[in-house]
Chains A and B, each alone.
Chain A
Amino acid sequence: DTAVSQTPKYLVTQMGNDKSIKCEQNLGHDTMYWYKQDSKKFLKIMFSYNNKELIINETVPNRFSPKSPDKAHLNLHINSLELGDSAVYFCASSQDAGGGWLEQYFGPGTRLTVT
C-alpha cells in the first residue's frame, strides 16, 4: 500500500497556466509538507500543515497556495506558472510526537516542467 501518493507524477505546462498537484497520505499522520527540489537536488521546504492548519510558510511566492481539505490531503495549487517553477515537488508527512518530530515519509515526487 502506498503511504504517501502524489498525482500527477509528471506535469508539463506552459507559462502563465494554473495547475494543481494532489497529495494523499494513509499513515494517519497529523502533519504534511510540500518541498521543492531544484536542479541542483537541493530540497527546500515550502509549506507545512498540522491538522489542516498552516504552520510553516517559507518565503514562497503567493502564486503558490496549499490547501488541506482534511488531515490526509494536502494539495498545491500554482497560479501563473513561470519558467523558474520547473522542479520536482515532493509531498511528505510525519507524526508530531509531542515536542519531537519523527521521520518524514515522502511521496514519489511530481516533476513540473514549465515551457
Chain B
Amino acid sequence: SQKIEQNSEALNIQEGKTATLTCNYTNYSPAYLQWYRQDPGRGPVFLLLIRENEKEKRKERLKVTFDTTLKQSLFHITASQPADSATYLCALDKGSARQLTFGSGTQLTVLP
C-alpha cells in the first residue's frame, strides 16, 4: 500500500543550527513533492515544490532535496530561528490523479 512517513514526530534543535526533516514514501511515483508549514490553529502554508527531475531547490534559508531512487525528500532550514517552530508537512501527488497526499508532519521546535 502507499505510504508517506515523516521521520520524527517531534524535533528540537538549538537556534542557529540547521534543521533537517525527512519524508520517505513507498509505492508512489510522484511527479512532484511539496512542503508545507502549519502553525497551531491555522491552515497549512505552501513553502516549496520540487519536481521529480530536480535534485534540489532553494528558497532563502530553506532547501529541499528529492531522491526518487531512495524515495526520499529532505527539508533543511539553515540558521534556524524560534519563529521557524511549527509543524512541517510533506505532500506528494498521485501522478495522474489530481490530489495531494500529506504525511503526518514533523513538529519542529527551535529553542532560543
A interface residues with partner B (beta carbon < 8 Å): 4, 31, 33, 40-45, 48, 50, 55-56, 90, 92, 96, 100-109
Contact = CB atoms under 8 A, between A and B. Distances in A.
B7 interface: no
B100 A100 contact: no
Q: Which DSSP category, helix, strand, loop or mixed, fits chain A's interface?
A: strand
Contact of B31 (A42, A45, A100, A106): A100
B43 to A, nearest CB: 3
Interface residues of B, number: 23
A94 to B, nearest CB: 9
Q: Which DSSP category, helix, strand, loop or mixed, fits chain B's interface?
A: strand
Contacts of A92: 43
A108 B97 contact: no
A46 to B, nearest CB: 10
Nearest to B98: A55
A43 B87 CA distance: 12
B49 A103 contact: yes
A109 B42 contact: yes
Contacts of B46: 103-105
A25 to B, nearest CB: 12
B39 to A, nearest CB: 11
B28 interface: no
A48 B98 CA distance: 8
A101 B43 contact: no
A56 B97 contact: yes
Nearest to A58: B99
Nearest to B31: A100
